[in-house]
Amino acid sequence: MDFLINFFSKDSTKRILLFIAIIIFFYSFQSVFNLFLLTFLFAYIMNSIQVLILKRFKNVTHIKENIVTIVLYSILFSFIVFVIVKYIPQLANQTKSLIDRFSEFKFSGNSNSIIQKYIVDMLGQIDIKSYIKSGFNVSLQLASEIGKWSVNIFISIMLSLFFILEKKVVMQFIKKFKYSKISGIYNYLAFFGKNFLNSFGKVIQAQILIALVNTILSVITLSILHFPQLVTLGFMIFVLSLIPVAGVIISLVPLCLIAFNIGGLAKVVSVLIMVAVIHCIESYILNPKLMSSKIKIPIFFTFVILIVSEHILGMWGLLIGIPLFMFILDLLGVKIHD
């Protein structure tokens, strides 16, 4: 009995139990989890941009925080409307065109090269239509989910806007719980919140920036290589770039098939070189630059985390599985950084 009392009186035990309760809560209410995560992402990214702008211009001129926030969200809303009006129809049409094009795709070749002839015969046995559809599966599912979550996205943007406009007032209000009858729970939640910002927030922010740079470099290179349907391919690359390691492998399937169709093995080699160069830029320049320290997770564990997180959280698991794992390791005091 004394052992149980001592065990449950420990801070570490209380933190673990509260953390488990939080996980159960969000898992039981998936819609609340989606809204919370979207609100957090918008608030974290927009607040980071706001802080960066204020720091850069503080020595030049004095700018009020709320003015910067309103301008940033005006740009965000304008960008969303622009994308919906201009690029969403293109994305749908180009995706349908690309899938229809490969539905009738046949590998054939009269090359004198034994290697190329062997590859053509081997690829001729593949059901191209199913592989192309599976290659775009992640991005199309996410696009479908975004369509279903349009209300959640709008609500999360508005909530993040109100939070940033009143973040000082909100923080002062939250601190009142520190001296209330639930001060113990407040202290633990504050501990979780601080670790969540320092680990999950920074990793997901870096992940989004890296995916954006990868997409820009890839689209530029693909346009030089005269690839068709760049809007669809760019969207696919951006979504898959958010998935560590596995995203690169998945994106190679449709890219290599398109390359082989428009230029044979030479074009496939060009795509492989492009992916290798961009991966080197990501590994040796972007990761060390955008993250406070380099994250080292064995590839085996990366795939295990992605499989488990996708099973538990669905599509979100592929995008936030690694950052969430980093957050849990940080809570447990496991140091895997340089």
Q: Which of 48, 56, 55 is nearest to 72 (CA)?
A: 48
> How far is residue 274's CA from residue 222's CA, in Å, rounded to a whole number?
9
Residue 333 reports pLDDT greater than 50: yes
pTM for this structure? 0.69
pLDDT of 92: 66
**Tokens 């034994």, residue located:** 114
Hey, what are 112's tokens? 């004198």
Q: Where are the domains of the chain?
A: 2-332
Q: Which of 229, 223, 338 is nearest to 288 (CA)?
A: 338
Residue 88 reports pLDDT greater than 60: yes
pLDDT greater at residue 31 or residue 18? 18
What is the rounded average pLDDT for all residues in the chain?
A: 75
pLDDT-above-70 percentage for the chain: 71
Hey, what are 211's tokens? 């995916």
Hey, what are 48's tokens? 């980071």
Please, are residues 219 and 281 in contact by the beta-carbon 8 Å criterion? no
Q: pLDDT-derived band of residue 124, with 50, 70 and 90 as boundaries? A: low
Name residues whose C-beta falls within 8 Å of residue 296's C-beta, 6 or more positions apart in sequence: 336, 337, 338
Q: pLDDT-derived band of residue 158, with 50, 70 and 90 as boundaries? A: very high
pLDDT of 113: 52
Where is mean pLDDT largest: 40-49, 54-63, 224-233?
40-49
C-beta neighbour count of 27 within 10 angstroms: 11
> How far is residue 280's CA from residue 285's CA, in Å, rounded to a whole number?
8
* Segment 309-319, tens digit of pLDDT: 877 777 677 77
Q: What is the 3-state secondary structure (H, E, C) of the chain?
A: CHHHHHHHHCHHHHHHHHHHHHHHHHHHCHHHHHHHHHHHHHHHHHHHHHHHHHHHHCCCCCCCHHHHHHHHHHHHHHHHHHHHHHHHHHHHHHHHHHHHHHHCCCCCCCCCCHHHHHHHHHHCCCCHHHHHHHHCHHHHHHHHHHHHCHHHHHHHHHHHHHHHHCHHHHHHHHHHHHHCCCHHHHHHHHHHHHHHHHHHHHHHHHHHHHHHHHHHHHHHHHHHCCCCCHHHHHHHHHHHHCCCCHHHHHHHHHHHHHHHHHHHHHHHHHHHHHHHHHHHHHHHHHHHHHCCCCECCCHHHHHHHHHHHHHHHCHHHHHHHHHHHHHHHHHHCCCCEC
Residue 290 reports pLDDT greater than 50: yes
pLDDT of 329: 77
End-to-end CA distance of the chain: give it in Å, rounded. 43
The least confident of 39-53, 70-84, 286-300 is: 286-300
Please, are residues 32 and 39 in contact by the beta-carbon 8 Å criterion? no
* Segment 231-267, tens digit of pLDDT: 778 888 888 888 776 777 778 877 887 888 777 788 8
For Cα atoms 69, 71, 76, give the angle at the middle one, nearest 5 degrees: 95
pLDDT of 191: 80
